Structure 1
Amino acid sequence: MPHSSGASPRRSRRRASHETRAAYRHFPSQCRCASTWALRVVHAATPPRRRTIRGRAAAAPPRNVGPLPHIQGVPLSSSIPRWTLSLRAWQRDACETWWRTRPRDALIVACPGAGKTRFATRLAHALLESRLIDRVVVVVPKDHLKAQVARAMAQAGVQLDPGFENAVGRIAPDLHGAVVSYQQVAFAPGVYARLVGERTLVVLDEIHHAGDGATWGRALKRAFVHAAHRVAMSGTPFRSDGAAIPFVRYELGVSIADFTYSYSQALADGVCRPLAFPLLGGAAEWISADGTIIQSDFDSALETRQQESERLRTALTQDGWMGHVATRAHQALHEIRAQGHADAAGLVVAMNQQHAHYVADVIERYAGVKPVVVVSEDNDAAKKIHRFAGSRQPWIVAVHMISEGVDIPRLRVGIYATNVTTPMYFRQFCGRFVRTQAHLAHEQLAYVFVPDDPHLRPLAGAIHAEVEHHLRKHDHREFVPQASPNAPQRYEELSLFSGIAAVAVDRGVLHSGIGMDPLFPLDEPVVEAVPMEPVLKAGEKAALRKAVNSLVSLASARFHVDHRKIHATLNQRFGGSLPTASERELQRRHAELLRWLQRNRYDGIA
């Protein structure tokens, strides 16, 4: 029977395909940006018996659950699952405090290890679920933290892209947002100013990295000026240079937090481990920067801050001192493992990359184990950290890669082997060891071995005094940290400094508990279990994109067609571009490529 229009179905399809290609040639940018419209034109010109593209079925809206009763009755979004994760008491209180006023700018101060990321996840989930925002952007200080934050938020169904690139400038429609670094924002604040609109939540993790006068601070103000909400989080809401932090309120030069959760509170709640600080003294001999030979122990006062730094650097670079510290620290780690924490681990922070390899060699020679070494120039640094976190390897040595934000709960022993003596850096390092683990049935005391330097001793004492004051409920002598320079001293230029020898002496232990004896097991408070590894949609999509690219290369070679034309065909048929394609669009691209290769016939743009 002849077709009612006088043309066969095959001719109708050819005409529609021809019209679409003509439109693509004359208006290429419009077709690329509105490729879904182009597909609908093709199917509109096709007889009814041809398969049509299905629209997205609206899922039933989930019931609002969780400890945020203030959002009951608000229309819910179908793009995010219901909240099922547990919250600590402080996280619930912080969420409810924020939700009562929903301020545009807020500062949440919580000690390292308390669970700031879970708090931010709950906030993002509630805002997405109540349809008060459409997008979430999280800013972190280091690139290797992006995947960690994305995995943590994926546990609640908040899917963020840790691989977002400034050059792309767009977020795929099946993701809720992205995790980026402060450095990314500083390089292209205009990109984020266009990306972040009035229905976006911006989470600024470890906000103390950005100062108002610094490049990052100015970039943040420009990039996130239109955001609906900006939530800044920090365990140390101050900068060593005293610069103001963007989006933070100040009174008389002091930052004002909207919610604070201190280390002493976390320890009393069983959220964080108590810390013990074995102090290592001793004596050193070195050639000073001016050529003078100096001998001094850590109890002796020196004339200048430079000489004090040289004494510390000498100790940290001599086998006589570092060997003793490595032996003592490994003994502590061995005892902890023998008490039942079989995968307990140790972390050493070094002065620089060369020093990190030296320290690793010392540990191997004195303790008989080969540590993992992680430095910033290592392209696989983030993967090394992730593998170490899930392994049973005993030691890892780093420079700045694990200074903050990295979540490795099995760390129980630390060696502070750097000449950085600022309070913020010291506290951030100590924060790596306070994360509790629910499966351990004894006291989770952690150890941080510290040189008995006059600038480091008060920093350990300040944490010790803070905890004692909370636990014993009476006054103690206040430990006031001495002033620290804006940046670690450097003497490589025109300096005669050279370490000669050093020996270490144990000077006792500062530990933060009542009658606690180091390495003596006590009852363990109940802590929430660690959730299962989440499904990270961005990771699955990255694997799909890689597979699509491989098939495009194969198709290009087989059909002698430039790979750019193959990508253009896929963009035209399935919408968008490869970097911003949704998971469904990537799967359809993959299936189309397989169809071409299996049939050995390419029917796209030649």
Structure 2
Amino acid sequence: MARSLRTHQRRILGVVRAIASGEAAGLQDILAAVTPGGGKSLLPVLAASELIRAGVVDRVCWVVPRDSLRLQAEEAFADGGWRTELGHSLSVRAADNGPDPCRGLAGYVTTYQAVAAAPELHMREFASHRYLLVVDEIHHLPALSDAEPSGQVGEGAWALEREASWSRALLPMLELARVRLLLSGTLMRADGRPILWLPYGKGTSDRTREVDLHASSWAVVGYSRAEALREKAVLPVTFGAVQGEASWIEPDGPAVGPHSLDADYETTRPALFTALRTEFALQLLDRAFDETRMLRAERRRRLGLTAKDGGKGLGKLLVVAPDQAQARRYLDHIRGRLPVARRLVDARLATSDERDAQETLAAFRLLPEPACLVTVAMAYEGLDAPSVSVVAALTHIRSRPWLEQMIARATRIDPHAGPVEEQRALVFHPDDLLFRAFRRRIETEQGTVARRPKENRGQKLPDWLKQELEEEGRHGIVPLSSNATGMRWENLAAGPTLQVGRPQANEPSPLLDGLPTSPDAPTPSSLERRLRHQVGEMVAAQAVEDEAALRAPRGDGTYHRYNAVLKRVMGKGRGLMTLAELEATVGWLERNRLAEHLHLVEGDPRYAHRARRVSEAERRRLATEGQGALDASKAQAEFWRPPVGKPDARAKRG
């Protein structure tokens, strides 16, 4: 069933149309404060399609905080349904820091980390073309005037310095961009500092600043959770608040507890630290697992599926752990409750130490399996996985932006799960005082305030002593035991509406009912990988065929020589080719033989493989004599010299 764009999407469309028509020619900054899960991914597509069509900008650059979001951003432009409904033909590619990041397309997607690693590359690109710059989750970027750690040590200071490096790298791009679209699900940072580039005014209390939602030359578009719930853009949230108690040993020796998680603020932190590492965490995990299993069984019954049948729309469980050691422990516990044949399929781990973490995230997001994902922080922000219905929030973090993003993983509407009215997000969490305070804030306060960091007064402690005190505060207690004592259900209130101006727009034509979960057409970067692989296979096939037909000597590096020939013919290596160039290369290889063009590498010592090949005996000798002999050998001669072999037996007889 077709429907219109959502409220915030119509507002953004109205703003960019005003810029494109010249009515708001002086407007360059658009801030979209969209509740997590409300649908920010379409906004860059709307803005780029209008502004490029009108000739206001030439290209679009979309910067995201995580590598997994880079591919999701690319999919937003490749989605076939939206391409048809919006009438756009733009494509962007998930780029690395190689030259020419657009490769003939309308733009590219990169990460904060990539920009900080090669700022000159992106600066040159912005200096050469008029860009629409989209900065996703801009709350990660601290204002540079407030980015100094001020004597802090440890993980917090390191994280701030890392984010400050992102701000320093992105600031010139912000200044050079023709139009800027800044996206975020929250307008406040966890550390209370202001956000880069946003306009601030004096707050309602001392030492606070608040985002100026009515700043001149800015268009601020808000989309609160209350509006999203009214439009059925997100799901309502039910909390399973698990009560518990914990016992631990203090750094000075005495045992403490059992203390309830909600006893008082003095004991909440150590009690929570203990609970997440002992029995309480596994009991909460069991409740979330059982609820997920009952949900999947109910949806199977409704869809007429058997217990062995898989498919989309059944619901999934996301487990957020406090650290990687506990994540592996939680994974083992969940797998222990699964049938042996399904353990490795249904439950997976995605942490920064896992080599296949990105593949696991993609499978969890797009495929029916796995049904359970355990992570620490990789999947808490921006993960577009509508199949997540249950979240086990086994994390010690209690900052508002972090928890809002984590909860939003379950609030996306699953188009395969039946009527929206029958869907609900379920979040299990420890019932501690800090989580209750977080709930009160998101239900009653707009998150737009920045607090100035307190200045250090008095004598400063040495850095080594600060480090020891910090480590003692974090790891000083020894967890003993914990227990879940009860649970209560609570519904999250809709929360306040962001009070901003509401730009009007002409009502666009009806669109599809909801964002598709995956693109109908492959993304540019996946097409590039596929074509590069195809070119490699075609070169290898010609090399094997020519060796078999004795048109090329066997084992003489034919594949590498043929690759060199192809590079000469096409003018560049396939790693630097655009999609059109890769397609042309495939067509050329279908009609031509590389063996007929070997004259292009004649006389080039880099590809004279026989003249450079060292015998195995020589390799063993150099390895035995050590790296010094190898270096000396390289210094003595530029070209390879044949090893001294055995004397000719016929010469001896003569």
Answer yes or no: same fold by TM over 0.5: yes
2:359 paired with 1:427: no
What secondary structure sits across from 1:534 in the alignment? coil
Cα deviation code 1:254-307 (max 9, x no counterpart) = 12351110111101111100001111111111122333311111232254xxx5
Instruction: In structure 1, list runs of 5 or more residues that go unmatched.
Output: 1-83, 468-477, 515-525
1:137 deviates by 0.8
Q: For 1:401, give the aligned amino acid.
A: M
Alignment-derived partner of residue 349 in structure 2:
373
Alignment-derived partner of residue 138 in structure 1:
62
1:562 deviates by 8.2
Q: For 1:250, give the aligned amino acid.
A: Y
Q: For 1:255, give the aligned amino acid.
A: V
2:260 paired with 1:297: yes
1:577 deviates by 4.4
1:161 deviates by 1.6
Number of residue pairs matched by the alignment: 491
Cα deviation code 1:399-437 (max 9, x no counterpart) = 111111110001111111011111111011011111113
In the superposition, relative to structure 1, how do residues 427 and 580 fare at CA in structure 2: closer, same or farther (>3 Å)? same
Asked if the contact 1:161–1:178 (Cα under 8 Å) also holds between the matched residues in 2, the reply is yes
1:602 deviates by 3.3
2:247 paired with 1:270: no
Q: For 1:192, give the aligned amino acid.
A: H
Asked if the contact 1:274–1:434 (Cα under 8 Å) also holds between the matched residues in 2, the reply is yes
Deviates more, 1:116-125 or 1:491-500: 491-500
Provide TM-score, normalisation by structure 1.
Answer: 0.74
Task: For 2:378 and 2:577, locate their aligned partners in 1 and report how far apart those are by CA, in whole Å.
Answer: 32
Provide TM-score, normalisation by structure 2.
Answer: 0.69
2:325 paired with 1:393: no
Cα deviation code 1:322-357 (max 9, x no counterpart) = 232122212322333344375201111111111101
Task: For 2:493 and 2:186, locate their aligned partners in 1 and report how far apart those are by CA, in whole Å.
Answer: 23
In the superposition, relative to structure 1, how do residues 493 and 93 fare at CA in structure 2: closer, same or farther (>3 Å)? closer
Deviates more, 1:181-190 or 1:370-379: 370-379
Alignment-derived partner of residue 650 in structure 2:
none
Alignment-derived partner of residue 318 in structure 1:
278
Asked if the contact 1:286–1:501 (Cα under 8 Å) also holds between the matched residues in 2, the reply is yes
2:211 paired with 1:255: yes
Task: For 1:587 and 1:294, locate their aligned partners in 2 and report how far apart those are by CA, in whole Å.
Answer: 69
RCO (CA 8 Å, sep 6+): is it higher in 1 or 2? 2
Task: For 1:465 and 1:528, locate their aligned partners in 2 and report how far apart those are by CA, in whole Å.
Answer: 29
Cα deviation code 1:520-565 (max 9, x no counterpart) = xxxxxx9536265333122111221233345556767965578787
2:37 paired with 1:113: yes
What secondary structure sits across from 1:124 in the alignment? helix
Alignment-derived partner of residue 488 in structure 2:
508
Asked if the contact 1:575–1:581 (Cα under 8 Å) also holds between the matched residues in 2, the reply is no
Task: For 2:474 and 2:412, locate their aligned partners in 1 and report how far apart those are by CA, in whole Å.
Answer: 43
2:383 paired with 1:406: yes
Alignment-derived partner of residue 28 in structure 2:
104
What secondary structure sits across from 1:286 in the alignment? strand
1:140 deviates by 0.5
Cα deviation code 1:23-71 (max 9, x no counterpart) = xxxxxxxxxxxxxxxxxxxxxxxxxxxxxxxxxxxxxxxxxxxxxxxxx
Task: For 1:490 and 1:408, locate their aligned partners in 2 and report how far apart those are by CA, in whole Å.
Answer: 37
Asked if the contact 2:398–2:435 (Cα under 8 Å) also holds between the matched residues in 1, the reply is yes
Q: For 2:212, give the aligned amino acid.
A: I
1:76-475 → structure 2 map (5 Å cutoff): 87-100=5-18, 101=24, 103-155=27-79, 156=83, 157-162=89-94, 164-166=95-97, 168-197=98-127, 198-213=129-144, 214-252=164-202, 253-257=209-213, 258-295=220-257, 296-301=259-264, 303=266, 307-319=267-279, 321-340=280-299, 343-365=314-336, 370=343, 371-389=347-365, 390-439=367-416, 440-441=418-419, 442-464=421-443
Structure with more of its chain in helix, by fraction: 2
Task: For 2:32 and 2:247, locate their aligned partners in 1 and report how far apart those are by CA, in whole Å.
Answer: 46
Instruction: In structure 2, list runs of 5 or more residues that go unmatched.
Output: 19-23, 84-88, 145-163, 203-208, 214-219, 301-312, 455-468, 495-511, 603-654
What secondary structure sits across from 2:600 in the alignment? coil
Task: For 1:206 and 1:466, locate their aligned partners in 2 and report how far apart those are by CA, in whole Å.
Answer: 20
RMSD: 3.3
Asked if the contact 1:264–1:466 (Cα under 8 Å) also holds between the matched residues in 2, the reply is no
Alignment-derived partner of residue 477 in structure 2:
497
Q: For 1:267, give the aligned amino acid.
A: L
Percent of aligned pairs with the same amino acid: 26
Cα deviation code 1:116-168 (max 9, x no counterpart) = 01111111111222232221111110111111110111123432221x222x2
